[in-house]
Structure 1
Amino acid sequence: MKLVRTCTCLQYFIVLACLAAVALARPQRPDSEAETVLDERSDNGDGNFQYTFETSNGISSSNQGTPGSEGQSNMQGSFSFPLADGTIAQVSFIADENGYQPSSDLLPVAPPLPEHVHELLRIAEEQRASGITF
């Protein structure tokens, strides 16, 4: 006796639908296909350098560096990238002896200090000046 297995059109359709669902559910990564459209670099070999780059998906960065007084590289520059809502995030920065100091409208800003805090700081400074320690 020979067993023959037959598939109906419905079974083929179900298998095809499952394969299509798996293919469509895979993560879409358009950024993985981004290309560098601008890449300019210069390095003088003495700690002074500059670079600028841009990619086809809207990411860009520009930095300039100089030798710092403590042996570090001081840098200033900016970078930008597209956000999910279609706007562009822009950040400028300075990195030197005082640390990394970013500047952007996207960064949170602390509320102003209440007036009584200024008075407390003034009192504390007077106490320090008169030799009072805690």
Structure 2
Amino acid sequence: MKLIIFACLAAVALARPQTPDSEAETILDERSDNGDGNFQYTFQTSNGISSSNTGTPGSEGQSNMQGSYNFLLPDGTLAEVSFIADENGFQPSSDLLPVAPPLPEHVYELLRIAEDQRARGVTFD
């Protein structure tokens, strides 16, 4: 009896639709490029991946970008990341990213002492 139940469960699991990511299709693809370093693009795929970005020329010759991207996690929840990329580097923001714990109060006091010593010319080489 257990073998029959196991076989039925296995058949149901194998019968569910399976569409691998390699078969995902692009369902939205919008792009604009002004030719002067300003651009914008948005795309979305059938497997839940999407991205939207805007770019502008940077002050140091780089391309600054601001945007977001989304994708489905293995548990089916949506991962969302927004970001800025400029002369200060890539700066992501997401609830999925770890956050450092706050510094203990005594660390702020030590930093204040070190700054006072630097201001008075005290250095330790």
User: What CA deviation, in whole Å up to 9, does each residue of 1:16-75 have, x standing for no partner?
Assistant: xxxxxxxx8xxx761111000000000000000000000000000000000000000000
CA distance in 1, matches of 2:19, 2:50: 19
Instruction: Work out which of the residue numbers 66, 69, 72 in structure 1 matches 2:56.
Output: 66
Residue 31 of structure 2 corresponds to which residue in structure 1?
41
Does residue 97 (structure 1) correspond to residue 76 (structure 2)? The answer is no
Q: How many residues align?
A: 108
CA distance in 2, matches of 1:54, 1:119: 49
Percent identity, aligned pairs only, is 86
Does residue 81 (structure 1) correspond to residue 71 (structure 2)? The answer is yes
TM-score, length of structure 2 as denominator length: 0.84
Q: Which amino acid aligns with 2:53?
A: N
TM-score, length of structure 1 as denominator length: 0.78
CA distance in 1, matches of 2:122, 2:35: 52
Residue 5 of structure 2 corresponds to which residue in structure 1?
none
SS in 1 for 2:118: helix
Equivalent runs, 1:1-134 vs 2, <5 Å: 30-134=20-124
CA distance in 1, matches of 2:101, 2:71: 27
CA distance in 2, matches of 1:132, 1:42: 55
Segments of structure 1 that go 5 or more residues without pairing to the other structure are: 1-23
Could you say which structure has the larger radius of gyration? 1
SS in 1 for 2:32: strand
Q: CA RMSD in A?
A: 1.2
CA distance in 1, matches of 2:123, 2:64: 37
